[in-house]
Structure 1
Amino acid sequence: MSLTRQEVEEFLYHEAELLDEWKMKEWVALLTDDAYYSVPPIGSPDANPLTALYLVNDNRERIEHRALRLLKKEAHVEYPHSSTVHNVYNVKIVGEEDGVTTVKCNFSAYRAKRDYLDNYIGINEYKLVKEDGQIKIAGKKVILKMEALRPHGKVSIIL
Protein backbone atom coordinates (compact mmCIF):
# COMPACT_ATOMS: atom_id res chain seq x y z
CA MET A 1 0.00 0.00 0.00
CA SER A 2 1.43 3.34 -1.07
CA LEU A 3 1.96 6.15 1.39
CA THR A 4 0.64 9.57 0.45
CA ARG A 5 2.69 12.70 0.86
CA GLN A 6 0.21 13.93 3.46
CA GLU A 7 0.66 10.74 5.51
CA VAL A 8 4.43 11.06 5.23
CA GLU A 9 4.42 14.75 6.20
CA GLU A 10 2.21 14.12 9.24
CA PHE A 11 4.50 11.28 10.29
CA LEU A 12 7.65 13.41 9.94
CA TYR A 13 6.05 16.27 11.89
CA HIS A 14 5.16 13.77 14.62
CA GLU A 15 8.75 12.49 14.68
CA ALA A 16 10.06 16.06 15.02
CA GLU A 17 7.66 16.75 17.87
CA LEU A 18 8.75 13.62 19.76
CA LEU A 19 12.41 14.62 19.41
CA ASP A 20 11.73 18.20 20.55
CA GLU A 21 9.80 16.95 23.58
CA TRP A 22 12.59 14.49 24.45
CA LYS A 23 10.16 11.56 24.16
CA MET A 24 12.95 9.18 23.19
CA LYS A 25 11.11 5.97 24.12
CA GLU A 26 8.22 6.98 21.88
CA TRP A 27 10.66 7.95 19.12
CA VAL A 28 12.38 4.56 19.31
CA ALA A 29 8.94 2.95 18.94
CA LEU A 30 8.77 4.53 15.45
CA LEU A 31 11.64 2.29 14.29
CA THR A 32 11.47 -1.13 12.70
CA ASP A 33 13.44 -3.97 14.31
CA ASP A 34 16.09 -3.73 11.56
CA ALA A 35 16.21 0.07 11.34
CA TYR A 36 19.37 2.10 10.83
CA TYR A 37 20.27 5.72 11.60
CA SER A 38 23.33 7.23 9.94
CA VAL A 39 25.05 10.59 9.68
CA PRO A 40 27.84 10.33 7.08
CA PRO A 41 30.92 12.57 7.12
CA ILE A 42 30.24 16.16 6.10
CA GLY A 43 30.84 16.55 2.37
CA SER A 44 30.79 12.78 1.74
CA PRO A 45 27.15 11.66 1.82
CA ASP A 46 27.86 8.48 -0.12
CA ALA A 47 30.95 7.44 1.84
CA ASN A 48 31.33 3.76 2.63
CA PRO A 49 30.61 3.26 6.36
CA LEU A 50 33.23 0.49 6.43
CA THR A 51 36.04 2.81 5.35
CA ALA A 52 34.89 6.32 6.37
CA LEU A 53 34.41 7.85 9.79
CA TYR A 54 30.67 8.43 10.14
CA LEU A 55 29.38 10.82 12.81
CA VAL A 56 26.71 8.20 13.54
CA ASN A 57 26.21 4.75 12.01
CA ASP A 58 23.80 2.85 14.24
CA ASN A 59 21.76 -0.29 13.86
CA ARG A 60 18.45 -0.63 15.73
CA GLU A 61 20.05 -1.76 19.00
CA ARG A 62 22.59 1.06 19.02
CA ILE A 63 19.95 3.65 18.11
CA GLU A 64 17.85 2.59 21.07
CA HIS A 65 20.83 2.70 23.44
CA ARG A 66 21.81 6.16 22.13
CA ALA A 67 18.27 7.54 22.50
CA LEU A 68 17.68 6.13 25.98
CA ARG A 69 21.14 7.20 27.21
CA LEU A 70 20.21 10.79 26.30
CA LEU A 71 17.49 10.63 28.98
CA LYS A 72 19.97 9.88 31.78
CA LYS A 73 21.80 12.35 34.00
CA GLU A 74 25.05 10.63 33.04
CA ALA A 75 24.68 12.03 29.50
CA HIS A 76 26.34 15.26 30.65
CA VAL A 77 26.32 16.97 27.28
CA GLU A 78 22.49 16.77 27.22
CA TYR A 79 21.62 17.02 30.90
CA PRO A 80 19.70 19.09 31.51
CA HIS A 81 18.25 18.65 28.04
CA SER A 82 18.87 21.22 25.36
CA SER A 83 15.93 23.05 23.88
CA THR A 84 15.50 21.84 20.34
CA VAL A 85 13.34 22.69 17.36
CA HIS A 86 13.30 20.26 14.43
CA ASN A 87 11.80 21.53 11.16
CA VAL A 88 11.12 19.44 8.07
CA TYR A 89 10.11 20.85 4.72
CA ASN A 90 10.20 20.17 0.97
CA VAL A 91 8.99 16.63 1.62
CA LYS A 92 9.19 14.49 -1.51
CA ILE A 93 8.40 10.83 -2.08
CA VAL A 94 11.14 9.69 -4.45
CA GLY A 95 10.28 6.04 -4.85
CA GLU A 96 8.56 2.92 -3.66
CA GLU A 97 9.71 -0.65 -4.00
CA ASP A 98 8.64 -3.83 -2.23
CA GLY A 99 6.60 -1.89 0.35
CA VAL A 100 9.44 0.52 1.19
CA THR A 101 8.78 4.19 0.49
CA THR A 102 11.86 6.35 -0.03
CA VAL A 103 11.41 9.93 1.12
CA LYS A 104 13.70 12.97 1.02
CA CYS A 105 13.17 16.22 2.84
CA ASN A 106 15.16 19.24 3.89
CA PHE A 107 15.57 19.86 7.58
CA SER A 108 16.88 22.32 10.08
CA ALA A 109 17.41 21.47 13.72
CA TYR A 110 18.15 24.13 16.29
CA ARG A 111 19.74 23.28 19.63
CA ALA A 112 19.92 25.89 22.39
CA LYS A 113 21.86 25.36 25.59
CA ARG A 114 23.94 27.50 27.94
CA ASP A 115 24.02 30.63 25.78
CA TYR A 116 24.83 28.63 22.61
CA LEU A 117 22.64 28.12 19.59
CA ASP A 118 23.64 25.41 17.16
CA ASN A 119 21.92 25.09 13.80
CA TYR A 120 22.13 21.87 11.83
CA ILE A 121 20.86 21.91 8.25
CA GLY A 122 20.67 19.26 5.60
CA ILE A 123 18.68 16.54 3.90
CA ASN A 124 17.03 13.56 5.54
CA GLU A 125 16.63 10.41 3.48
CA TYR A 126 14.07 8.01 4.94
CA LYS A 127 13.07 4.45 4.21
CA LEU A 128 9.50 4.15 5.51
CA VAL A 129 7.32 1.05 5.77
CA LYS A 130 3.91 0.18 7.15
CA GLU A 131 3.80 -2.35 9.98
CA ASP A 132 0.44 -3.27 11.52
CA GLY A 133 -1.11 -0.20 9.91
CA GLN A 134 1.51 2.18 11.36
CA ILE A 135 4.26 4.02 9.49
CA LYS A 136 7.71 3.00 10.74
CA ILE A 137 11.25 4.15 10.02
CA ALA A 138 13.31 1.38 8.44
CA GLY A 139 16.18 3.77 7.77
CA LYS A 140 17.15 7.39 8.31
CA LYS A 141 20.20 8.96 6.74
CA VAL A 142 21.03 12.54 7.76
CA ILE A 143 23.13 14.39 5.21
CA LEU A 144 24.51 17.55 6.81
CA LYS A 145 24.87 20.48 4.40
CA MET A 146 27.42 22.34 6.46
CA GLU A 147 31.11 23.09 6.13
CA ALA A 148 31.84 22.02 9.70
CA LEU A 149 30.25 21.34 13.06
CA ARG A 150 30.66 24.52 15.02
CA PRO A 151 31.54 25.38 17.71
CA HIS A 152 31.85 22.01 19.41
CA GLY A 153 32.51 19.57 16.56
CA LYS A 154 29.89 17.00 17.58
CA VAL A 155 26.25 16.03 17.29
CA SER A 156 24.74 15.37 20.71
CA ILE A 157 21.07 15.21 19.73
CA ILE A 158 19.08 12.94 17.45
CA LEU A 159 18.73 14.83 14.19
Structure 2
Amino acid sequence: MNITRQAIEDFLYLEAELLDEWKLEEWAALFSAKGTYLIPPIGNPNADSAKSLYLVNDDRARLEQRALRLLKKEAHVEYPHSSTLRNYNNIRIKDQDENSISVKCNFTTYRSKRADLDSFIGVLEFKLVIENGELKIEEKKVVLKLESLRPQGKVSLIL
Protein backbone atom coordinates (compact mmCIF):
# COMPACT_ATOMS: atom_id res chain seq x y z
CA MET A 1 0.00 0.00 0.00
CA ASN A 2 1.49 3.31 -1.05
CA ILE A 3 -0.25 6.16 0.77
CA THR A 4 1.60 9.36 1.61
CA ARG A 5 1.99 10.70 5.13
CA GLN A 6 0.17 13.84 3.99
CA ALA A 7 -2.81 11.80 2.76
CA ILE A 8 -2.97 10.01 6.12
CA GLU A 9 -2.77 13.26 8.08
CA ASP A 10 -5.45 14.87 5.89
CA PHE A 11 -7.70 11.84 6.41
CA LEU A 12 -7.31 11.94 10.20
CA TYR A 13 -7.92 15.70 10.30
CA LEU A 14 -11.08 15.15 8.23
CA GLU A 15 -12.21 12.53 10.74
CA ALA A 16 -11.71 15.02 13.62
CA GLU A 17 -13.51 17.78 11.71
CA LEU A 18 -16.53 15.57 11.00
CA LEU A 19 -16.80 14.72 14.69
CA ASP A 20 -16.47 18.36 15.78
CA GLU A 21 -19.16 19.39 13.29
CA TRP A 22 -21.45 16.56 14.44
CA LYS A 23 -21.48 15.04 10.96
CA LEU A 24 -21.69 11.59 12.50
CA GLU A 25 -23.18 9.76 9.54
CA GLU A 26 -20.29 10.98 7.38
CA TRP A 27 -17.90 9.97 10.16
CA ALA A 28 -19.33 6.43 10.24
CA ALA A 29 -18.89 6.24 6.45
CA LEU A 30 -15.11 6.60 6.96
CA PHE A 31 -15.06 3.06 8.38
CA SER A 32 -14.55 -0.08 6.32
CA ALA A 33 -17.20 -2.79 6.20
CA LYS A 34 -15.26 -4.57 8.99
CA GLY A 35 -14.60 -1.34 10.89
CA THR A 36 -14.48 -1.22 14.68
CA TYR A 37 -14.46 1.61 17.22
CA LEU A 38 -12.94 0.67 20.59
CA ILE A 39 -12.32 2.32 23.94
CA PRO A 40 -10.64 -0.18 26.29
CA PRO A 41 -10.80 0.18 30.08
CA ILE A 42 -8.77 3.05 31.53
CA GLY A 43 -5.35 1.78 32.58
CA ASN A 44 -5.67 -1.45 30.60
CA PRO A 45 -5.32 -0.58 26.89
CA ASN A 46 -4.52 -4.15 25.84
CA ALA A 47 -7.39 -5.78 27.71
CA ASP A 48 -9.02 -8.77 26.07
CA SER A 49 -12.44 -7.53 24.96
CA ALA A 50 -13.89 -11.02 25.59
CA LYS A 51 -12.87 -10.85 29.26
CA SER A 52 -12.90 -7.12 30.10
CA LEU A 53 -15.56 -4.46 30.06
CA TYR A 54 -14.71 -1.96 27.34
CA LEU A 55 -16.17 1.55 27.51
CA VAL A 56 -16.99 1.11 23.80
CA ASN A 57 -16.64 -2.00 21.65
CA ASP A 58 -18.53 -1.30 18.42
CA ASP A 59 -18.50 -3.13 15.12
CA ARG A 60 -19.50 -1.25 11.96
CA ALA A 61 -23.26 -1.73 12.45
CA ARG A 62 -23.10 -0.64 16.09
CA LEU A 63 -20.99 2.45 15.41
CA GLU A 64 -23.50 3.51 12.74
CA GLN A 65 -26.31 3.05 15.29
CA ARG A 66 -24.33 5.05 17.88
CA ALA A 67 -23.86 7.89 15.38
CA LEU A 68 -27.55 7.99 14.46
CA ARG A 69 -28.68 7.80 18.09
CA LEU A 70 -26.45 10.72 19.12
CA LEU A 71 -28.02 12.89 16.43
CA LYS A 72 -31.55 12.44 17.85
CA LYS A 73 -33.20 14.69 20.41
CA GLU A 74 -33.88 11.59 22.48
CA ALA A 75 -30.15 11.33 23.25
CA HIS A 76 -30.61 13.72 26.18
CA VAL A 77 -27.01 13.58 27.34
CA GLU A 78 -25.90 15.09 24.01
CA TYR A 79 -28.89 17.23 23.08
CA PRO A 80 -28.32 19.99 22.48
CA HIS A 81 -24.96 18.81 21.21
CA SER A 82 -21.82 19.54 23.13
CA SER A 83 -19.37 21.89 21.54
CA THR A 84 -16.17 19.97 20.88
CA LEU A 85 -12.70 20.69 19.59
CA ARG A 86 -10.29 17.89 18.74
CA ASN A 87 -6.56 18.21 18.30
CA TYR A 88 -4.57 15.37 16.74
CA ASN A 89 -0.80 15.63 16.97
CA ASN A 90 2.37 13.60 16.77
CA ILE A 91 0.85 11.55 13.93
CA ARG A 92 3.18 8.69 13.07
CA ILE A 93 3.06 5.62 10.87
CA LYS A 94 3.88 2.61 13.03
CA ASP A 95 3.63 -0.20 10.48
CA GLN A 96 2.70 -0.67 6.86
CA ASP A 97 2.20 -3.63 4.55
CA GLU A 98 0.41 -4.23 1.25
CA ASN A 99 -3.00 -4.40 2.98
CA SER A 100 -2.96 -1.92 5.86
CA ILE A 101 -1.28 0.97 7.62
CA SER A 102 -1.05 1.28 11.40
CA VAL A 103 -1.05 4.88 12.59
CA LYS A 104 -0.78 6.33 16.08
CA CYS A 105 -1.34 9.87 17.26
CA ASN A 106 -1.89 11.77 20.45
CA PHE A 107 -5.20 13.55 20.91
CA THR A 108 -6.98 16.06 23.07
CA THR A 109 -10.74 16.45 22.87
CA TYR A 110 -12.27 19.42 24.61
CA ARG A 111 -15.99 19.29 25.31
CA SER A 112 -18.02 22.27 26.44
CA LYS A 113 -21.55 21.66 27.73
CA ARG A 114 -23.72 23.64 30.14
CA ALA A 115 -20.83 25.83 31.33
CA ASP A 116 -18.59 22.80 32.00
CA LEU A 117 -15.38 22.08 30.12
CA ASP A 118 -14.18 18.48 30.03
CA SER A 119 -10.89 17.34 28.56
CA PHE A 120 -10.18 13.88 27.21
CA ILE A 121 -6.56 13.07 26.44
CA GLY A 122 -4.88 9.97 25.11
CA VAL A 123 -3.57 8.06 22.14
CA LEU A 124 -5.49 7.04 19.04
CA GLU A 125 -4.46 3.85 17.28
CA PHE A 126 -5.78 3.47 13.75
CA LYS A 127 -5.62 0.59 11.31
CA LEU A 128 -6.28 2.04 7.85
CA VAL A 129 -7.09 0.06 4.70
CA ILE A 130 -8.08 0.72 1.11
CA GLU A 131 -11.65 -0.36 0.38
CA ASN A 132 -13.23 0.27 -3.03
CA GLY A 133 -10.35 2.60 -3.89
CA GLU A 134 -10.79 4.77 -0.77
CA LEU A 135 -8.87 5.07 2.47
CA LYS A 136 -11.01 3.66 5.30
CA ILE A 137 -10.69 3.02 9.03
CA GLU A 138 -10.69 -0.67 9.86
CA GLU A 139 -10.05 -0.02 13.54
CA LYS A 140 -10.02 3.06 15.74
CA LYS A 141 -8.84 2.40 19.27
CA VAL A 142 -9.00 5.21 21.82
CA VAL A 143 -6.53 4.75 24.68
CA LEU A 144 -7.52 7.27 27.34
CA LYS A 145 -4.71 8.69 29.46
CA LEU A 146 -6.94 9.61 32.38
CA GLU A 147 -7.20 8.34 35.94
CA SER A 148 -10.99 8.36 35.74
CA LEU A 149 -13.89 9.71 33.74
CA ARG A 150 -15.65 12.76 35.02
CA PRO A 151 -18.19 14.03 35.71
CA GLN A 152 -20.55 11.15 34.92
CA GLY A 153 -18.14 8.24 34.72
CA LYS A 154 -18.99 7.59 31.07
CA VAL A 155 -18.17 8.74 27.58
CA SER A 156 -21.27 10.26 26.00
CA LEU A 157 -19.71 11.47 22.77
CA ILE A 158 -17.54 9.89 20.11
CA LEU A 159 -13.87 10.40 20.83
The separation in 2 between residues aligned to 1:93 and 1:28, in whole angstroms, is 22
Residue type matched to 2:73 in 1?
Answer: K
DSSP 3-state at the match of 2:27? helix
Q: Deviations over 1:7-54 (max 9, x none)?
A: 111001000000000001111110111100100000000001111110
Unaligned runs of 5+ in 1: none
Q: CA RMSD in A?
A: 0.8
1:74 aligns with 74
Percent identity between matched residues is 60
The separation in 1 between residues aligned to 2:65 and 2:152, in whole angstroms, is 23
The separation in 1 between residues aligned to 2:98 and 2:148, in whole angstroms, is 37
TM-score normalised over the length of structure 1: 0.97
The separation in 1 between residues aligned to 2:111 and 2:147, in whole angstroms, is 18
Residue type matched to 1:148 in 2?
Answer: S
1:147 aligns with 147
DSSP 3-state at the match of 2:67? helix
Q: Which runs of 4+ in 1 moved over 3 A?
A: none
Contact 1:90 / 1:106 at 8 angstroms: preserved in 2? yes
1:10 aligns with 10
How do 1:52-131 and structure 2 match up within 5 A? 52-131=52-131
DSSP 3-state at the match of 1:107? strand
Q: 1:97 Cα deviation (Å)?
A: 2.5
TM-score normalised over the length of structure 2: 0.97
The separation in 2 between residues aligned to 1:90 and 1:8, in whole angstroms, is 12
Aligned residues: 159
**Aligned pair 1:132/2:136, yes or no?**
no
Residue type matched to 1:46 in 2?
Answer: N
Contact 1:2 / 1:99 at 8 angstroms: preserved in 2? no
Residue type matched to 2:26 in 1?
Answer: E
The separation in 2 between residues aligned to 1:2 and 1:94, in whole angstroms, is 14
The separation in 1 between residues aligned to 2:56 and 2:104, in whole angstroms, is 19
Unaligned runs of 5+ in 2: none
The separation in 1 between residues aligned to 2:138 and 2:11, in whole angstroms, is 13
DSSP 3-state at the match of 1:128? strand
2:34 aligns with 34
The separation in 2 between residues aligned to 1:22 and 1:11, in whole angstroms, is 17
The separation in 1 between residues aligned to 2:67 and 2:4, in whole angstroms, is 28
Q: Deviations over 1:47-83 (max 9, x none)?
A: 0111111000011110000011000001000000000
The separation in 2 between residues aligned to 1:44 and 1:2, in whole angstroms, is 33
The separation in 1 between residues aligned to 2:124 and 2:2, in whole angstroms, is 20
